[in-house]
Chains A and B, each alone.
Chain A
Amino acid sequence: MLRLEGVSKRFGGLVATDGVSLEVAQGEVHALIGPNGAGKTTLIGQISGTLPPDSGEIFFEDKRITKVPPHARVAVGLARSHQITSIFRRFSVLDNLALAVQARSGSSFSFWKPVAKETALFDEARSIADEVGLSDRTDATAGNLAHGEQRALEVGLALATRPKLVLLDEPMAGMGPEESQRMIALIERIRSRVTVLLVEHDMDAVFRLAGRISVLVSGRIIATDVPGKIKSNEEVRRAYLGDEVAA
């Protein structure tokens, strides 16, 4: 579904992404792991369109999207959640989600009719809130949510655009064990509907959820395989996994 070919990006003297080629098949949960500074978020930025690559091509459903602006990528079904929570802090949770739903429900160049009357939008927003576990927090102001709840909203916003593929950038960042379990359960729930490219440090989650794992080190993919093979891969253990996972 998603294919990267030789994608590269450099910042001055620093090569952040070095000829990355990657394939994400429809329906899988594909994890992207690697040490800090490996270039994971830069890569996500290039896939979502906020960071233009210096070279290489990106294909989504076999269509070239390398030059397509970020908002248009959302329209074809590619959504993302951010590593650093980026939500509409002063809106309520429900309004946050409704806004995302509104984006793909017809034109928003409508100047007269009050949004409050569009119950369909809000019903859908509520169902997404249920899905990410925020059903009893829909009226809370987004900025007042607990950290874990905000991360859930972050994922919710990505889901609200009804994507075919969702890029989850460290959804469990800063979460305690209970919250992480809830997030893992959430991803389990959605994987039947949505292809997932998951960037994570939480190895427990990665090995439980991933169908395949790609390892990114210093901007290059050094291995792509099923979790069992990745765990036993010498190069991967040397570069990254060594002290992170009990063998």
Chain B
Amino acid sequence: MKKNILLIIVLAAFPLVMQAADNLFYVSFASRVMIYAIAATSLNLALGYGGMISFGHAAFVGTGAYVASICIAEGVTSAWIGWPAAIAASALAAWAIGAVSLRTRGVYFIMITLAFAQMMFYLVNSMKAYGGDEGLTLPQRASNLGNEVAFYYVVLCLLAATIFLLYRLINSRFGRVIVAIRENEARAVAVGYPVFRYQLACFVIAGAAAGLAGALLASHGKYVNPNVLHWSQSGTLMIMVILGGVGRLWGGAIGAAVLLGLEHLIAEHPIAWLAALLPNYQQHANLGVGLVLLAIVLFAPQGIAGLLAKEKHAAA
């Protein structure tokens, strides 16, 4: 509990410090990290706790982003309308996709979620009215949250709410059932749980949260384009989840922070010896990501949160 309070204090004070130092870039960057933290956490619910390997989660982020953008583009600029609309739309999409996909298992499920996400991608790509493949630029953020510090606090509150809700969810009856289903589905059925209904509910909740992240993302950059729905984005979210720790409360957040943080560091701070070896190494950043991911899968599948937990146990 003490750790959490300390964390909140640091996060709350951060933008004020930055503002004093007249460096608002990092405030904006931190907002972006937190938005991805929400998205990764939503995937962690479906994937980490629910065991549903959805390769199409980006579709829900994208749905939220587009619905929120369309609201603003059409003149409805209040976040109180736009963001709940985004959440509702993503939840609906998750319900529709989940209802069909969750009849399948294993690789079929992975593939069908991937395919549906691609389907959404192509659909959005062809929406000429809203930018098509060039994307849609927004005149403003929702509710005129142009002030970086104000936006930061909004995102911080939403992230805190998301994680807290996840915490309550995991410890509730529903959370237990979902984890049990992941653990041994046949047994859950044999004990009397209508598995499909629970998994669908979990999927929808995860989709709704992803939609929120999407809406925030659209406002943050004042821009949205179909790439948000591309399956490689789903891959990125998955990387964040496994990096941070599958099925662990802070897994999504840690993963987002580490991945985006590293990405930023590598782009901004050239490493001399690496540059000597490979002049263009920054353009091949994905190579590093791939190697790190492979290493994690092979050697540390519990992610960073898992390693931290182990150290705590070892020390205790």
Contact = CB atoms under 8 A, between A and B. Distances in A.
A91 B174 contact: no
B201 A109 contact: yes
Interface stretch (A14-22, A99-107, A188-196): A99-107
B173 A74 contact: no
Interface stretch (A110-118, A199-207, A229-237): A110-118
B153 interface: no
B190 A82 contact: yes
A150 interface: no
A90 interface: yes
Interface residues of B, number: 24
Given A71-B189, A80-B190, A88-B187, A111 B180 contact: no
A64 B267 CA distance: 67
Contact of B194 (A71, A104, A110): A71
Interface residues of A, number: 38
A74 B191 contact: yes
Interface in B151-179: 168-169, 171-177
A157 interface: yes
Contacts of A99: 176-177, 180, 188, 191
Interface in A147-200: 157-158, 160-161
A42 to B, nearest CB: 16
A89 B188 CA distance: 12
A88 to B, nearest CB: 5
A69 B195 CA distance: 11
Interface of B: 168-169, 171-177, 180, 183-184, 186-195, 198, 201
List of 3 A-B pairs having minimum Cβ-Cβ separation, nearest first: A74-B192, A103-B192, A108-B173
Interface of A: 48, 50, 69-72, 74-75, 79-80, 82, 86-91, 95, 99-100, 102-104, 107-116, 118, 157-158, 160-161
